[in-house]
């Protein structure tokens, strides 16, 4: 039996070595055949809007949500905002947010991506939440991880030494956390 994973990518081009593409490729190889990683192209990734991406998430999650949800960069922001605001009837047990910007300050000020106040109160209690951020990320600084860990105190926080923003060489601790969660909850 395979475990379904939904991966929501970053903004920008997603082909070849661009955007989240190398990360997804490495993730698929690292998770292996027991996991089916679906990484659909989100609408207009070079000009993303919350409304377009929210509508795509609605479509992707309308029938049955996969047990594992992963959001990379903007994809993490949109996924978290969607779950907290739309409160869909998801059966997902793991939400993994990687290099995710925390919107609402002078450098990250697009109102459409800002989370609601007390976001943690609007997330399913059954959803295990994991945060990953590299100290050497040159796109999203490490202080975003601190803000997320304050906003979602129950999240498991992973501050990493390397990997940059796109984790082209993979993210072994993410793979281990997914596998551990799958075993713990007997998803296999």
Q: What is the DSSP string of 99-135?
A: S----SSSSS--GGGPPPTTGGGGS-TT-EEEEEEET
Residue 111 placed within a domain: no
Which pLDDT score, from 0 to 100, does residue 132 have?
A: 98
Domain assignment present for residue 108? The answer is no
Within a domain: residue 113? no
What Rg value do the Cα atoms of the chain yield, rounded?
Answer: 15
pLDDT category at 187 given cuts 50, 70, 90 is low
Domain count, the chain: 1
Band the pLDDT of 179: cuts 50, 70, 90: very high
- How confident is the model over 62-92, as pLDDT tens digits? 877 889 999 999 999 999 999 999 998 888 9
Whether 20 maps to a domain, the answer reads: yes
| Residue 53 lies inside a defined structural domain of this protein | yes
* Residues linked to residue 133 through DSSP beta bridges, in sequence order: 159
Higher pLDDT among residues 149 and 2, named by residue: 149
Q: Which CATH number do you get for residue 128?
A: 3.40.50.1820
Regarding pTM above 0.85, the answer is yes
Identify whether 112 is part of a domain: no
**In 34-166, where do the E strands start and end?**
35-38, 68-72, 94-98, 128-134, 156-160
Domain that holds residue 50: 3-103+118-184
Question: Domain for residue 159, yes or no?
Answer: yes
């Amino acid at each position: 039996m395979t475990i379904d994973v939904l991966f929501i990518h970053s903004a920008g081009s997603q082909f070849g070595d661009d955007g989240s593409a190398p990360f997804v490729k490495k993730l698929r190889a690292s998770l292996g055949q027991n996991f089916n990683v679906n990484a659909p192209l989100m609408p207009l990734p070079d000009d993303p809007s919350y409304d377009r991406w929210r509508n795509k998430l609605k479509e992707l999650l309308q029938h049955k949500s996969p047990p594992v949800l992963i959001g990379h960069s903007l994809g993490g922001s949109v996924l978290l905002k969607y779950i907290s605001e739309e409160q869909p009837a998801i059966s997902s047990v793991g939400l993994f947010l990687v290099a995710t910007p925390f919107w609402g300050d002078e450098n990250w000020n697009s109102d459409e991506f800002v989370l609601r106040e007390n976001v943690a109160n609007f997330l399913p209690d059954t959803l295990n939440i994991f945060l990953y951020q590299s100290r050497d990320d040159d796109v999203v600084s490490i202080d975003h991880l601190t803000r997320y860990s304050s906003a979602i105190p129950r999240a498991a926080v992973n501050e990493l030494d390397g990997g940059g923003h796109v984790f082209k060489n993979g993210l072994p601790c993410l793979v281990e956390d997914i596998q551990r969660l799958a075993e713990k909850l007997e998803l296999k």
